[in-house]
Amino acid sequence: MKIIIIGAGPGGYETALEAAKRGIEVVLVEKGNVGGTCLNEGCIPTKVMCRSAEVLEEMRSASDFGVIACSGTEEMSKIDFGKVRQRKSEVVEQLRSGVETLLDYKLITLLHGRAVIKDAHTVEVDGNEYVSDYIIVATGSSSASLNVQGGDLPGLLSSREMLDIDHVPSSLCVIGAGVIGLEFASVFSSFGSRVTVLEYCGQILPRFDSDLAKRLKQSLSKRGIEIVTSAAVQSVSVGDEAYGRGQSYRVEYEFKGKKEELVAERVLVAVGRRPVVDGLGLENAGVEYSPKGIAVDDNMQTTCTSIYAIGDVTGKMMLAHAAVYQGLRALNHICGQSDGIDLSIVPSAVFTMPEAASVGMTEEECKGKGIACKAVKSFFRANGKAVALGQTDGFVKIVVSDGDGTGYKDGQILGCHMFGPHAADLIAEMTVLICRKSTIEDLSSIIHAHPTLSEVFRV
């Protein structure tokens, strides 16, 4: 058997490696660097910056822990942005090199070029044609544009360009309070930028639990980040004021029926991502798709039975780890194997300070589906480890079934939504419990080490 995979992001390269382990010959095509958006201009480099910001904040509060790190507090709060950028590049290069080494496998042929599907079994790469039994499309997504007057002005930053900025702007306007926008807002606020976030929806993190979003907004606001929700951006123009490096942008928006404006040195456009579907030749094989992504069934199979699509290009859950498991599902289906993967239960994390994380259904989703539910909460301020860390801001909200009448066990855990120290790591425990259809009573019988942050789940 032979498979062609278009796109060497996490979904593509992980699927290629698993297929090769099963003895399947793979041609993996990538037009850029292996690792895709996640490794090169997304998940990994942003987390390097998040870590630098975290260390900086710890240094600023060192005296609270009886630690005198250097001679003066002013020195403690400095950031060497050049070294931050250097470390970011080194980490990305290290991990990319590791992926390239893994792909140096006898059954994997890695091609660098642009792929076009010619028919249900043929892919052309820079003039050369390759034939396979199956094709898996894993081309990912790209930053969405800002569809307003001046939304295409030179100098407006996407997330990729924000990672390559060569200085810390004195002021930063972030348009969009999703995961990407909030992470950059958190990081550059720590680095010293005056940050304003404008969000069109009524809450930050629109797809997250409303309680979590409300409390996280309060927490970020306490750090000096100005967040304006229900703000409809109308236009962006070059400002008259000279900021930082002698440039500025004027952002006009509507808030509660009134015209408002702000001026900032730089503007980050973080209004979502769009599946990369154009130019792939999908129509040549009868694959149904739209600007929202490629249509797939539960096995990630497209309307052409020999072609599958995984990851961001499907427009479903735009997360690297979701792409990996979608790829595994597709490969299992190709091989005629069943699996126990529940693609509806995918944890997500936001690496702000404090972190936020979520898995499963929210209260709003349950009510929308007619599922009787209730929520139980606990708070980090009552957790001994959090108090010792000096990181008590945050809570855990567990959504459970309230009765047996809707197809769920009484007390079955349906979702968990939290923010606080190490929330991104802690959410894994709740993911396991939800996947195993555990109840809140099952959770209460699990012994957690003391003192640990995981004890916050003792609701």
Instruction: Tell me the per-residue pLDDT of 159-195, one tens digit each, with 9 for 90 and over.
Output: 999 999 999 999 999 999 999 999 999 999 999 999 9
Output the pTM of the full model.
0.94
Q: Is 336 left (phi over 0), alpha (psi -120 to 50) or beta?
A: left
pLDDT value, residue 358: 98
Sign of torsion, CA 112 118 119 122? negative
CB 252 within 8 A of CB 269: no
CA distances to 121, 127, 322, 331, 428 from 308, rounded to whole Å, are 11, 23, 15, 9, 28
Both structure tokens of 241 = 């004021």
Euclidean distance between CA atoms 263 and 248, whole angstroms: 7
Long-range contacts of 57-63 (CB under 8 A, 24+ apart): 57/190, 57/353, 61/390
Is 140 annotated in a binding site? The answer is: yes
CA distances to 139, 141, 148, 376, 440 from 294, rounded to whole Å, are 11, 12, 26, 38, 38
Q: Which of 164, 171, 9 is nearest to 89 (CA)?
A: 164
pLDDT value, residue 429: 98
Is 443 annotated in a binding site? The answer is: no
Is 397 annotated in a binding site? The answer is: no
pLDDT value, residue 75: 55
Residue labelled with tokens 């039994």 = 133
Q: What are phi and psi of 297, to 5 degrees?
A: -95, -165
Is 363 annotated in a binding site? The answer is: no
pLDDT value, residue 240: 78
pLDDT value, residue 246: 66
Sign of torsion, CA 189 191 194 196? negative
Is 193 annotated in a binding site? The answer is: no
Q: How confident is the model over 45-86, as pLDDT tens digits? A: 999 999 999 999 999 998 899 988 765 555 556 899 999 999
Both structure tokens of 87 = 């470390």
Is 272 annotated in a binding site? The answer is: yes
pLDDT value, residue 239: 84
Euclidean distance between CA atoms 241 and 414, whole angstroms: 51
Euclidean distance between CA atoms 325 and 12, whole angstroms: 11
Q: Who contacts 26 (Cβ-Cβ below 8 Å, separation ≥6)?
A: 2, 3, 4, 5, 16, 19, 20, 107, 108, 109
pLDDT value, residue 72: 53
pLDDT value, residue 307: 98
Euclidean distance between CA atoms 242 and 51, whole angstroms: 31
The stretches in the chain having pLDDT less than 50 are: none
Residue labelled with tokens 């996490």 = 10
Euclidean distance between CA atoms 157 and 340, whole angstroms: 41
Q: How confident is the model over 208-235, as pLDDT tens digits? A: 999 999 999 999 999 999 999 999 999 9
Euclidean distance between CA atoms 443 and 423, whole angstroms: 17
Is 259 annotated in a binding site? The answer is: no
pLDDT value, residue 243: 61
Which residues are annotated as catalytic? Answer: 450
